[in-house]
């Protein structure tokens, strides 16, 4: 008789150990059978995420937050969005991990071990706003290809590391330096080791700012694997694609860095406004630098109901790329009139700010609360969509929540 073999006791108990609970009818599993709990890695467990985070893509992993999950002043790991262009590196050996500084404009190629980086240079901790350049893309029409982020590809965690400037100065920068370019350990989706999923960077001015870090900690602990363990660049206020994860090498370039996703339409927007759907010539596109002014209502959740006559406390965060937010307002009449919110100063440069207000409603019914931030240059968020662009970047339209007064 050709009987199929059942799973061995030892195999069963090791699978149960991974799942973390007894498999009640496990004896009935056929040898080689993979229980679903193992087959389909659960991203929430795998990355330690809040169950309400939204998975946009699993190859590669792209996961965003909902507004109310971002209510904390410092974004916890469980609600920090994940944006990967390639495959997360496996089998990282921190003892062997090194950071190389090279390029046309370095005086001498230098290699640092993690220990050297940590012991040789002073540590700094800053709260830094990281927002994907494509956050808000889902609203553009005609639609743009790419992850259909709604509002949740932003966070402001606490990052600890050494200043990129201190490391570059230690290596020696030539006077013809123009740009930095990062190289990382993640694998291209094709698994071709000669291709990089992404290799971006920043002009020297941004690279040499006080707050531009080579970070090894997020929120006081080792950076989680999904966010770039053991080392990443963090350049707050700029598209988060500048902040290279799993950092292995930084080149000091004598020209604008020309790595993957620095060319073509990637992270570029038209220099002048264009009509929706219009084809834009390459020379009319410019690389995105500082992100535009934006805000998010993180409390209450959209759809909340309050009693007639009660005031509604709202709160959230606002940020403005390299600038600060100067003014924060809300509207309950679809943007006809605006009232001022209380607004805090940032804890440090490039950290988001917090706003709050007590909102009164004239009578029962349906309302929308809209929030609008204005930066120190006097630029405010657009009420609806900003200028259309081919790749759907920089949607900083006012965030809004629905409220019923009963
Ligand atoms: N090595 C590497 N660095 C990377 C990426 C990547 O795919 N690989 N994605 C970039 C993009 S597009 C964004 S928006 C941020 C996301 O950072 P997070 O996943 O820690 O939130 O990382 C940036 N750094
Ligand atoms: Mo991004």
Mark whether 272 and 373 lie in a shared domain: no
Mark whether 272 and 306 lie in a shared domain: no
| 197 in contact with ligand 1, CB cutoff 6 A | yes
User: If you count them, how many residues does the chain have?
Assistant: 406
| 186 in contact with ligand 1, CB cutoff 6 A | yes
> How far is the centre of ligand 1, averaged over its atoms, from the C-alpha of 137 (Å)?
16
Residue 45 lies in a domain: no
Mark whether 190 and 315 lie in a shared domain: no
Residue 252 lies in a domain: yes
Mark whether 160 and 247 lie in a shared domain: yes
> How far is the centre of ligand 2, averaged over its atoms, from the C-alpha of 242 (Å)?
8
Higher pLDDT, 11 or 244: 244
Q: Report the alpha-carbon distance of residue 210 to residue 242 in Å, rounded.
A: 16
- pLDDT of 1 reads 45
User: Which ligand has an atom closest to residue 181 CA?
Assistant: 1
Mark whether 71 and 27 lie in a shared domain: no
pLDDT tens digit sequence for 309-367 = 999 999 999 999 999 999 999 999 999 999 999 999 999 999 999 999 999 999 999 99
| 238 in contact with ligand 1, CB cutoff 6 A | no
Q: Give the model's confidence band at 33: pLDDT under 50 very low, under 70 low, under 90 confident, else very high.
A: confident
The atom number, within ligand 1, closest to the CA of 182 reads 1
Residue 1 lies in a domain: no
Q: Report the alpha-carbon distance of residue 331 to residue 373 in Å, rounded.
A: 12
Q: Is the pLDDT of residue 89 over 80?
A: yes
Beta strand 304-306 with 325-331 is unpaired
> How far is the centre of ligand 1, averaged over its atoms, from the C-alpha of 229 (Å)?
12
Q: Is the pLDDT of residue 196 over 60?
A: yes
| 79 in contact with ligand 1, CB cutoff 6 A | no
Domain count within the chain = 3
Q: Give the model's confidence band at 16: pLDDT under 50 very low, under 70 low, under 90 confident, else very high.
A: confident
- pLDDT of 32 reads 82
User: Which ligand has an atom closest to residue 261 CA?
Assistant: 1
Helices (H) and strands (E) in the chain, counts: 6, 24
Phi/psi for 385 (5° steps) reads: -70, 140
The answer to whether the CB of 4 falls within 8 A of the CB of 30 is: yes
The atom number, within ligand 1, closest to the CA of 186 reads 1
| 227 in contact with ligand 1, CB cutoff 6 A | yes
Q: Is the pLDDT of residue 43 over 80?
A: yes
Mark whether 314 and 340 lie in a shared domain: yes
> How far is the centre of ligand 1, averaged over its atoms, from the C-alpha of 84 (Å)?
5
Q: Tell which of 228, 253, 287 closes a domain.
A: 287
pLDDT tens digit sequence for 55-88 = 999 889 999 999 999 999 999 999 999 999 999 9
pLDDT tens digit sequence for 373-403 = 999 999 999 999 998 999 999 999 999 999 9
> How far is the centre of ligand 2, averaged over its atoms, from the C-alpha of 368 (Å)?
29
Q: Tell which of 246, 265, 287 closes a domain.
A: 287
**Domain that residue 205 falls in:** 62-287
Smallest CA-to-CA distance from 236 within 77, 143, 348, 343 is with 348
The answer to whether the CB of 216 falls within 8 A of the CB of 161 is: yes
Q: Give the model's confidence band at 42: pLDDT under 50 very low, under 70 low, under 90 confident, else very high.
A: confident
> How far is the centre of ligand 2, averaged over its atoms, from the C-alpha of 364 (Å)?
41
Mutation test residue for ligand 1: of 180, 198, 266, the one with most atoms within 8 Å of CB: 198
| 240 in contact with ligand 1, CB cutoff 6 A | yes
Q: Give the model's confidence band at 2: pLDDT under 50 very low, under 70 low, under 90 confident, else very high.
A: low
Please give the mean pLDDT across all residues of the chain. Answer: 95
Higher pLDDT, 253 or 16: 253
Token pair recorded at residue 165: 């400037």
Residue 56 lies in a domain: no
The answer to whether the CB of 231 falls within 8 A of the CB of 97 is: yes
Determine which residue's CA is closest to atom 14 belonging to ligand 1. Answer: 132
Helix (H) or strand (E) holding 179: strand 179-184
User: Which ligand has an atom closest to residue 63 CA?
Assistant: 1
Q: Give the model's confidence band at 131: pLDDT under 50 very low, under 70 low, under 90 confident, else very high.
A: very high
Q: Give the model's confidence band at 19: pLDDT under 50 very low, under 70 low, under 90 confident, else very high.
A: confident
Phi/psi for 12 (5° steps) reads: -60, -45
Q: Tell which of 264, 287, 310 closes a domain.
A: 287
Determine which residue's CA is closest to atom 19 belonging to ligand 1. Answer: 82
Measuring CA to CA, how many Å separate 203 from each of 100, 104, 237, 242?
19, 14, 14, 10
| 201 in contact with ligand 1, CB cutoff 6 A | no
Burial 159-190 (b: 16+ CB within 10 A, else e): bbbbbbbbbbebbebeeebebbbbbbbbbbee
Q: Is the pLDDT of residue 116 over 60?
A: yes
Mark whether 378 and 247 lie in a shared domain: no
Determine which residue's CA is closest to atom 22 belonging to ligand 1. Answer: 241
Mark whether 243 and 259 lie in a shared domain: yes
Report angle CA 131, 167, 85 to the nearest 5 degrees: 35
Mutation test residue for ligand 1: of 77, 81, 85, 391, the one with most atoms within 8 Å of CB: 85
Residue 149 lies in a domain: yes
pTM for the complete prediction? 0.91
Residue 57 lies in a domain: no
- pLDDT of 40 reads 63
Q: Report the alpha-carbon distance of residue 237 to residue 383 in Å, rounded.
A: 21
Mark whether 77 and 109 lie in a shared domain: yes
The answer to whether the CB of 155 falls within 8 A of the CB of 130 is: yes
The arrangement of strands across the sheet holding 110-113 comes to: 110-113, 98-102, 247-253, 179-184, 201-203
Mark whether 273 and 298 lie in a shared domain: no
Calculate mean pLDDT across residues 173-192.
Answer: 97
> How far is the centre of ligand 2, averaged over its atoms, from the C-alpha of 388 (Å)?
18
> How far is the centre of ligand 1, averaged over its atoms, from the C-alpha of 104 (Å)?
25
């Amino acid at each position: 008789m050709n009987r199929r073999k059942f799973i061995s006791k030892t195999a069963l108990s090791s699978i149960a150990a991974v799942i973390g609970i007894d498999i009640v009818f496990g004896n009935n599993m056929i040898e080689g059978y993979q229980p679903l709990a193992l087959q389909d890695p659960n991203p929430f467990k795998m990355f330690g995420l809040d169950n309400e985070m939204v998975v946009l893509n699993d190859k590669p992993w792209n996961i965003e937050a909902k507004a109310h999950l971002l209510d904390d002043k410092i974004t916890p790991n469980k609600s920090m969005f994940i944006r990967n262009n390639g495959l997360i590196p496996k089998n990282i050996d921190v003892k062997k991990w090194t950071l190389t500084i090279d390029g046309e404009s370095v005086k001498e190629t230098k290699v640092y071990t993690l220990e050297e980086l940590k012991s040789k240079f002073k540590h700094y901790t800053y709260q830094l706003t990281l927002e994907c350049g494509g956050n808000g893309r889902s609203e553009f029409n005609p639609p743009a290809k790419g992850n259909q982020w709604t509002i949740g590809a932003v966070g402001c965690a606490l990052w600890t590391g050494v200043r990129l400037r201190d490391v570059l100065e230690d290596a020696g920068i030539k006077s013809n330096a123009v740009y930095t370019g990062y190289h990382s350990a993640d694998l291209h989706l094709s698994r071709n080791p000669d291709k990089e999923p992404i290799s971006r960077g920043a002009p020297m001015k941004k690279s040499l700012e006080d707050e531009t870090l080579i970070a090894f900690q997020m929120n006081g602990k080792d950076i989680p694997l999904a966010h770039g363990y053991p080392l990443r660049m963090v350049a707050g206020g700029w598209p988060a694609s500048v902040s290279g994860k799993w950092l292995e090498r930084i080149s000091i370039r004598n020209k604008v860095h020309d790595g993957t996703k620095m060319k073509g339409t990637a992270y570029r927007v038209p220099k002048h406004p264009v009509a929706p759907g219009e084809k834009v010539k390459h020379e009319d596109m410019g690389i995105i630098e500082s992100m535009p002014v934006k805000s998010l209502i993180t409390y209450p959740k959209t759809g909340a109901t309050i009693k007639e006559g009660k005031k509604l406390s709202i709160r959230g965060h606002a940020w403005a790329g390299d600038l600060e937010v100067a003014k924060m307002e809300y509207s309950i009449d679809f943007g006809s009139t605006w009232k001022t919110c209380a607004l805090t100063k940032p804890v440090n440069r490039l950290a988001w700010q917090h706003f709050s207000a007590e909102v009164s409603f004239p009578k029962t019914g349906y309302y929308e609360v809209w929030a609008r931030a204005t930066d120190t240059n006097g630029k405010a968020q657009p009420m609806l969509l900003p200028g259309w662009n081919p790749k759907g970047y920089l949607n900083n339209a006012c965030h809004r929540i629905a409220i019923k007064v009963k």
